[in-house]
Amino acid sequence: MQVIKRLPEHPASASVLALGNFDGVHLGHRKLLESGLHEAERQQAKFSVLVFEPHPLKVLHPERGLKLLTTSEERLSLFEEIGVDTVYLLPFTRQMADTSPQKFVQTVLEKIGVVHVVVGFNYSFGAAGRGTSEDLYKFGQEYGFGVSVLQAQSVDGRIISSSSIRKALSQGDIGTARTMLGRAPSLWGKVIEGEQRGRLLGYPTANILPPEDLLIPKRGVYAVWAELEGRKVPGIMNIGMKPTFHTMYATTVEVHFLNYKANLYGQEIQIRIEERLREERKFNAIEELKAQLERDAALAERVLKERVGVLTPDS
């Protein structure tokens, strides 16, 4: 898969293009992308995706503090998995935000060489989001490209959307997020040095520092796994403020991998979140905390074995 970070000087080869933000690449996004892929196969054209970075809402409404479901790297990996040939990863600027819908067609879509455009039912484009799917139909007739508009997708009677998934994760509802994503939600981050307190408790942890704009689920304890050294390793993740040891503390993400020892400092790792086990709580004594951690580990091991077949190394 080719990733292009600026528009070509001259029209590229014929391309079916999917437009959208695709944060999360959830089941609704996948349906749209698969529709584009089939159209590209039908027309014997390349299948491309156009996304902007940063997310347009971060430029247009920075006060909202939008948190994302996926990193750019994960999103690209998911695109490649689906079968996208080319991703146009273009910068979203104030100049782009002020581009009229027709100018967007002329200066962006025509340069990509689109023969067909695939969008979701609520897609908008151009200055102030004035361009609609109906406008795309009109421009398609004028400039010679086809348009497909995918309607809202639902699962278990609920409309699938990135905002719904963000809400679910913020409430600790991993089940709903997983159902809408079509996979376990994940959390990326770099392993950094922490207080080393877990090591003293017999539960050494990898302290994860996620990107600033990535959504962190609700505080609590979770059953998780990660692919390390080519195999799936189970663990328990705590997202919280360490109330047993601190009155006030920044929210941290710590993962204890079960029966696994390795120096992970400085590595970027992806944590797959399978289930929320309990709320974060303050313990009155260290032994009480250690007993709870033992129960958490046993429960996480059962959950991960049943759901994804992930076993501890000595199982």
3-state SS track over 6-66? CCCCCCCCCEEEEECCCCCCCHHHHHHHHHHHHHHHHHCCEEEEEEEECCHHHHHCHHHCC
- Position 17 scores a pLDDT of 97
Which tokens belong to 312? 């501890």
Q: Which residues of the chain have pLDDT under 50?
A: 315
Cβ atoms of 174 and 276 within 8 Å: the answer is yes
- Position 234 scores a pLDDT of 94
> CATH topology for 185-308?
Elongation Factor Tu (Ef-tu); domain 3 (2.40.30)
- Position 313 scores a pLDDT of 62
- Position 139 scores a pLDDT of 94
pTM of the complete model: 0.91
- Position 311 scores a pLDDT of 65
Q: Within a 10 A sphere around the Cβ of 97, how many other Cβ atoms?
A: 15
Of 293, 296, 78, whose CA–CA distance to 203 is shortest?
293
Q: Does domain 13-158 have CATH number 3.40.50.620?
A: yes
Tokens 């017999």 map to which residue?
202
Q: What is the CA radius of gyration of the chain?
A: 22
* 7, 77, 189, 256 from 215: Cα distances, Å: 30, 19, 11, 20
Helices (H), the chain: 27-43, 56-60, 72-82, 94-97, 101-104, 110-112, 133-143, 162-170, 174-181, 197-201, 286-308
For the chain, which residues make up each domain, given as ranges? Answer: 13-158, 185-308
- Position 193 scores a pLDDT of 80
- Position 130 scores a pLDDT of 83
**Residues whose CB is less than 8 angstroms from the CB of residue 247 and which lie 6 or more positions away in sequence, other chains included:** none
- Position 314 scores a pLDDT of 59
**Identical fold, 13-158 and 185-308:** no
**Residues whose CB is less than 8 angstroms from the CB of residue 239 and which lie 6 or more positions away in sequence, other chains included:** 216, 217, 218, 219, 220, 221, 222, 251, 252, 253, 280
